[in-house]
Amino acid sequence: MIRARNPLVEMDGDQMTRIIWRQVKEQLIHPFVDVPLEYYDLGLEHRDATDDRVTHEAARAIRKHGVGVKCATITPSIAQVAELKLKKAWPSPNGTIRSELDGTVFRKPILAANVPVAVRSWRKPIVIGRHAYGDIYKATEMSVPGAGRMELLFTPASGAPERRLVHEFKGPGVVMGMHNTEKSIRSFAQACIRYALDERIDIWFSAKDTISKTYHTFFKGVFAEETERRKGEMAAAGISYRYLLIDDAVAQIMKHEGGILWALMNYDGDVQSDMVAAGFGSLGMMTSELVSPEGCYEFEAAHGTVARHYKDHLAGKATSTNSVATIFAWTGALRKRGQLDKTPELSAFAGKVERSVLGCIEEGVMTKDLARLVHNANEPARNTWVTTEEFIAAVAKRIASSGE
């Protein structure tokens, strides 16, 4: 039995991913690794019961212990507040944790040799570096009831206030105020440079400074300063930096071979990471790692809670839900725990699990979403795919029988 020296912060989630979470932990982790877990239930019901205090407690625990692993969670819509009788529309747990840790999210596709890539030119992974603080995720919004004047007002600690007209409303509408900080933006740029140097891959950063001449230009300027400061290291590593307008970057990425880090602002990174995941095969085949400036790490599955499959599960129907991203969240956390604690056997076990997962897929043991891609069929034959439980059991068997 491999033993971890320090705890992982475990954050449970919602719906079908909560079911998968328990199966992965019970079949792929506990039989092989003795790792202390500091548990936080981030399921929507418990977040509501605790007025979302549990999410903030989990973020503080990650800062204390250094490494966390998180299940997918629900961010409730206004309709779900009424449907589920919630106290309010609680914010995204991911957004809360990212804001508290002021981190950068790196998302990287998981490639299996037999799973075809939807974008023909993509031959190497495209890593998304997503700024994980501010912008729309920390925005203040207002519904405007009728005619009136909307302004931005900044009141400095000393000196005269500054005002900017947002819009002169003639009737009802909506407004939004967003912010970011130089400290967070600079941490984002630095984290992307460190990642690119470690992986020896080029960096792209994309925004829309031709339209947003202050907000987006500020990001562009910080990236220019930070890459200029480390240009010698980057040249020695054989990597380069490019700034592109985001519409140009989207067009170019579709013809690129990959093997780059694409750094993006918060909302852009949210959207483009799903595009990249789908382009490489499946939303269930994507790692997600949050890195804070202090050196804290959180690993999660880069997809939702798979509500449709959860309804089938509750109805007693068999499901075929891709658990790969959830498994890789656990292996990412275990690997990092091993690296920080200098227990290489723990990191080696994480690699063994990942090879077992890919070995199953490459031998034809896969869930239905991957079978659709491999066999190019909307309804692949039943003997070409396995259920949720069967896939996890197959991985567990492969781990146990591995001679590594």
pLDDT, one tens digit per residue, over 165-186 is: 999 999 999 999 999 999 999 9
Specify whether the CB–CB gap between 119 and 103 falls below 8 A. no
DSSP H helical ranges for 70-214: 78-83, 93-101, 182-199
Residue percentage of the chain with pLDDT more than 90: 89
Burial 67-86 (b: 16+ CB within 10 A, else e): bbbbbbbbbbeeeeeeeeee
User: CA of 252: how far to CAs of 145, 211, 248, in Å?
Assistant: 42, 20, 6
Confidence (pLDDT) at 167: 98
CATH architecture for segment(s) 117-139+185-280: Alpha-Beta Complex (3.90)
Burial class (CB in 10 A: 0-12, 13-18, 19+), 355: middle
Determine the Cα–Cα distance for residues 341 and 313; give it in Å rounded to an integer.
39
Q: What per-residue confidence (pLDDT) applies to 402?
A: 77
Long-range contacts, 374-381 (Cβ 8 Å, 24+): 374/114, 374/115, 374/116, 376/116
Tell me yes or no: is domain 1-106+290-404 CATH 1.20.1250.20. no
Contact 372, 384 (CB under 8 A): no
pLDDT attached to residue 281:
80
Torsion angle of C-alpha atoms 280, 324, 100, 36, degrees rounded to 10: -160
End-to-end Cα, the chain, rounded Å: 14
**Is 200 exposed, middle or buried, given 0-12, 13-18 or 19+ CB atoms closer than 10 A?**
exposed
Confidence band for 215, pLDDT divided at 50, 70 and 90: very high
Give the 3-state secondary structure of residue 399: helix
Report residue 165 as tokens: 């007209």
Q: Which pLDDT value is given to residue 403?
A: 63
Which of 4-8, 132-136, 372-376 has the highest average model confidence (pLDDT)?
Answer: 4-8
Contact 9, 65 (CB under 8 A): yes
- State the pLDDT at residue 404: 59
Q: Is the pLDDT of residue 53 over 70?
A: yes
Using only C-alpha atoms, what is the Rg of the chain? 22
Confidence of residue 99 (pLDDT cuts 50, 70, 90): confident
Identity at 339, one-letter amino acid code: Q
- Domain boundary assignment for the chain: 1-106+290-404, 117-139+185-280, 143-177
- Give the pLDDT confidence of 277-333 residue by residue, as tens digits: 889 887 789 999 999 888 899 999 888 899 999 999 999 999 999 999 999 999 999
Across the range 354-383, mean pLDDT stands at 95
Q: What is the pLDDT of residues 106-150, one digit of tens each?
A: 999 999 999 999 898 999 999 999 998 889 988 999 999 999 999
Tokens linked to 238: 């054989």
Q: What percent of the chain has pLDDT over 70?
A: 100
| Residues 19-44 pLDDT 10s | 999 999 999 999 999 999 999 999 99
Q: Give yes or no for a contact between 366 and 374, defined as CB atoms under 8 angstroms apart.
A: yes
